[in-house]
Chains A and B, each alone.
Chain A
Amino acid sequence: MSNYRIQGATGEWEVVIGLEVHAQVTSQSKLFSSASTEFGAEPNAQVSLVDAAMPGMLPVLNGECVRQAVRTGMAIEAQINKYSRFDRKNYFYADLPQGYQISQLYHPIVGEGQLLIAKDEKAGIPQDKVIGIERIHIEQDAGKLMHDQHPTMSYVDLNRCGVALMEIVSMPHMTSPAEAGAYVRKLRSILRYVGSCDGNMEEGSMRADVNVSVRKVGDPELGTRTETKNVNSVRFVMAVIEQEARRQVDLIEDGGSVVQETRLYDPDKNETRSMRSKEDAHDYRYFPDPDLLPLNLEDAFLEECRSSLPELPDAKRLRYTGELGMTDYNAAQLTAEVETFARFETLLAETARQAGKPEAEVATQVANWTLSVAPGVIKSLGADARLEHNTAAANAAILQMVSAGTVSGGQAKEIYEIVLKIGREPAEIAETEGLKQQSDTGAIEAEIDKVLAENPDKVEQYRSGKDKLFGFFVGQTMKAMQGKANPGVVNELLKAKLG
């Protein structure tokens, strides 16, 4: 249980949250038609006769969408229903040509599953928490109305109409905005690992309906919930919960009561407002779609779905902290995004190969480089960074020089900058640009002798117990060596000379 509380006039309140996430299924064509699903086409350029609900048109199920939903279900350890069915949800709207949405009310394709959100004390998640998932069903998306094209008329774009969505319904297991945010991020991560949704919230590939209720701390009864529709970023999901919980507490404490209703979030004003209440809720008249047969999944199909799943975030994180001996933080960071772990694992393999060492021995070095050093350099270069030069081979070569002591951390960054800008061989850069550490004891010794000779008073003080002055000698020596001395060698020699 999180310790998120809303302070009210009458005491402390807690919030209960459930999320319905709509995730657009990654597929070439729509759920029941062959029209393309690509984002950004001219309005109504991707509309089949079926999507436009022309008379006599019939839906034909896209098997790839089924496969993606099943794989997603498997990734959240859910019950896969070998029998499922499609239902019509009937209502009139101009973005819904059929006059009904084909969905799955009575027999969804995926049953109960779960998802783990990781402990994050800073965010107020004191320990790992399992969030239950009630179901996943597949359904059609609607089109889009445009109200700004004409003074008195609205325009309809049906490109999105009929695109496959997975509706992923959580149980009301979240009790803070942070948990809800972590849930959405984790779900997004899993979907992207599986490849069943691109998780692009700006393009509307993922959006959430946020169910919120409040109750007095310790009250076993759930309060009346509201549902805020179509929230399209993690930040907004969290903001909705904060606003809505506060609004509900104030309402109840002022003697009112929460109405079960649908609300909309206005990000500009950071507030939710009522869209329609239960009284004028639609009666959707769900019934089985007679144009479609029930869906029966065969064992071979399920087996193919299962064997096509990649290593998933939780398993990967455990492997990183276990086999690779990585810190929890690094493991969590590296496994959050598909692109990050992919880059990391490629570089890890290459670095281990070049170093001739097991991956576990170089993992921490590669992790630090991947998470902080490399992104810092790339960011500082901005548009000058030519990422086609950012190969695993080049990165591994730099890391290899660092661990061999040939170049310092600072030199590694400089070499990396040149690699990114021009794309030369790291070893060659180190050589020709003078970006190598001096490990030649003779040269270093000569400089140390000079430094000691120039600072007899400090030598005296050091020898009489002022240990802190050691850093001064190191600094002076490095300065004299123009920063190119191997610090390990400098330390060793200084200690010997100072006695």
Chain B
Amino acid sequence: MTNITDLGVAAIRAGVAQGDFTAREVAEGFNANVAAASALNAFIVTTPEKALEAADKVDADRAAGKPLGSMAGVPIGMKDLFATHGVQTTAASHILEGFIPQYESTVSSNLWAAGAGMLGKLNLDQFAMGSSNETSYFGNVISPWKRSGGSNAQMSPGGSSGGSSTAVAARLAPAATGTDTGGSIRQPAAFTGITGIKPTYGRCSRWGVVAFASSLDQAGPMAHDVRDCAIMLGAMAGFDPKDSTSLDLPVPDWEAGLDGNLKGKKVGIPREYRMEGTDPEILKSWEDGIAWLKDAGAEVVDISLPHTKYALPAYYIIAPAEASSNLARYDGVRYGLRDLPEGSGLQDMYAATRAAGFGDEVKRRVLIGTYVLSAGFYDAYYTQAQKVRALVAQDFENAFKECDVILAPTTPTASFGLGEKTDDPLAMYLNDVFAVPASLAGLPAMSVPCGVNSEGLPLGLQIVGKAFDEQGVLNAGLAIEERARFTAKPEKWW
């Protein structure tokens, strides 16, 4: 029989439901993988007992003939940005080290209610700020992937959901939660050969998710394939009156709606995404994607998203502006780290606490955000960036008059080695150039693995859809998945 830990969400759920194996066996299998993979540094905290507890409940429910939830028997990894009741929640920061919430985020509650269990809290870039998972206070996550030809270089699993991408790619979890502010689900998914979707802004409640940039943050699933993402997104999503920006819409049954036949659908290819500096192998994968979608019956049309080049700069104004304000609450007064030098006052305490508690990248973004909101600069930066944001959204609206989904690369390059870009923040930011426009527009977007490059590293293709049309995105993703037949796996070295 196949190793249980090679299975994804749908297969585990089916196996548990049919009695092929118990949920406890599944949880034990993944707990063992997690315990054996500390070299990857994917988890900040492991919670094997939580995984077992949830599994036992599912096994008992099954034995009692009770109906099982959509994630029944599936243990998952929880990005450590989601508050989990009684389990340390840090956002990979020193300032929240030791913080144990007395509440559970809506998304994680939804998952537990659907029968999922928690393997542990996944590492990430500190406060979700980063594209390589190198800004975590708890050390960087290491991708299970290596460059081919015996290279020993440690590769980045992407960021900020790097713990999530590594955990799924290395079979430490069949699926994991991610959050995506400017590509933090899609880019790590692309770097590690897995699938991840950021739904329409507002689909998943932000309640209980440590905020980075409120107008952009959106949770989503990261898993092996499109079906698993559809199942898990269905469990995560839903209207939440505790989040004023939550969408008050019914959650469609995306899994039931999966259909890789794209006959009658139009796929837009944005000409502005053919950027200088994009890896030729990425461009080649894009061509492959176009061919696959045509094969699936879609008509391919050339579209224009004229303001694309302004999206990244606008993002790096809006996101830090919101972050500078969202992170003001970490002040040493009520919870988390407090650094109170002998004889010091309130201002000294703020300064010492925040200096010690935040990493360099977080400080950089707080400073940028503070600057762009300052008197005299607000209009030049923030107001202007909001205008750009509106234009970027308008671009998509216009484009979607001519097509149903948009196909583009997820990233301009494949994964890079840890440390290769840490000295150049701008180069790092450029990694999100294809991901950020959909974030600014609040649109659903996913990354699907489409092959490996000449170095044996995975590549991803991105599908962007109309607002609320996760189904269209998932279906186009499925069409690619069915044709790309991505089966590459990282060689186990850890």
Contacts and interface: CB of A to CB of B under 8 A. Distances in A.
Given A54-B101, A54-B103, A285-B373, A59 B207 contact: no
A285 B208 CA distance: 25
Given A92-B328, A92-B331, A98-B328, 13 more contacts: A54-B335, A55-B211, A56-B211, A58-B207, A60-B244, A94-B333, A100-B328, A283-B375, A285-B378, A290-B245, A290-B322, A291-B211, A292-B244
B311 interface: no
B328 A290 contact: no
Contacts of A287: 321-322, 325, 373, 378, 382
A90 interface: yes
A-B pairs, top 4 by smallest CB distance, nearest first, are A99-B328, A285-B373, A290-B214, A290-B215
Contacts of A285: 324-325, 370, 373-375, 378
Contacts of B347: 92
B390 to A, nearest CB: 13
Contacts, number: 99
Contacts of A338: none
A149 to B, nearest CB: 15
Nearest to B340: A153
Interface residues of A, number: 30
B335 A283 contact: no
A49 B207 CA distance: 11
A92 B206 contact: no
Interface in B367-387: 370, 373-375, 378, 382
A236 to B, nearest CB: 28
A61 B91 contact: no
B370 A56 contact: no
Nearest to B373: A285
Contact of B350 (A60, A92, A156): A92
A105 B321 CA distance: 17
Nearest to B105: A56
A88 interface: yes
Contact of A56 (B102, B209, B382): B209
Interface string B327-338: 111010111000
A182 to B, nearest CB: 36
B242 A58 contact: yes
28 contacts: A49-B103, A55-B83, A55-B210, A56-B208, A57-B207, A59-B244, A60-B244, A61-B244, A90-B324, A90-B325, A90-B328, A90-B373, A92-B328, A94-B346, A97-B333, A98-B329, A100-B325, A285-B324, A285-B325, A285-B373, A285-B375, A286-B378, A287-B321, A287-B322, A287-B325, A287-B382, A290-B215, A291-B211
Contacts of A98: 328-329
Nearest to B213: A290
A54 B103 CA distance: 10
A92 B209 CA distance: 22
Contact of B89 (A49, A55, A59): A55
A294 to B, nearest CB: 11
A293 interface: yes
A165 to B, nearest CB: 20
B249 to A, nearest CB: 15
Interface string A273-316: 00000000001011100111100000000000000000000000
A99 B331 contact: yes
Contacts of B91: 55
B316 interface: no
B241 interface: yes
B292 interface: no
Nearest to B335: A54
Interface string B64-103: 0000000000000000001100000101000010010111
Nearest to A98: B329
B329 A97 contact: yes
Q: Which of B215, B244, B322, B346 has the most CB of A within 10 A?
A: B244
Contacts of B378: 285-287
A285 B207 CA distance: 25
B342 to A, nearest CB: 10
Interface in B430-466: none
Contact of A58 (B206, B329, B331, B375): B206
Contacts of B209: 56
Given A58-B206, A290-B214, A283 B328 contact: no
B331 A55 contact: no
Nearest to B246: A58
A291 B244 contact: yes
Given A92-B331, A97-B329, A287-B373, A60 B242 contact: yes
B315 to A, nearest CB: 14
Contacts of B334: 52-54, 97
A57 B102 CA distance: 12
Contacts of B244: 58-61, 291-293
A100 B211 CA distance: 14
Given A56-B105, A57-B207, A291 B214 contact: yes
A8 to B, nearest CB: 36
Interface string A77-108: 00000000000101011100111100000000
A55 B91 CA distance: 10
Interface string B343-370: 0001100100000000000000000001
Contacts of B322: 287, 290
A355 B283 CA distance: 97
Interface in B174-231: 206-211, 213-215
B243 interface: yes
A229 B350 CA distance: 25
A382 to B, nearest CB: 48
B293 to A, nearest CB: 35
B205 to A, nearest CB: 9
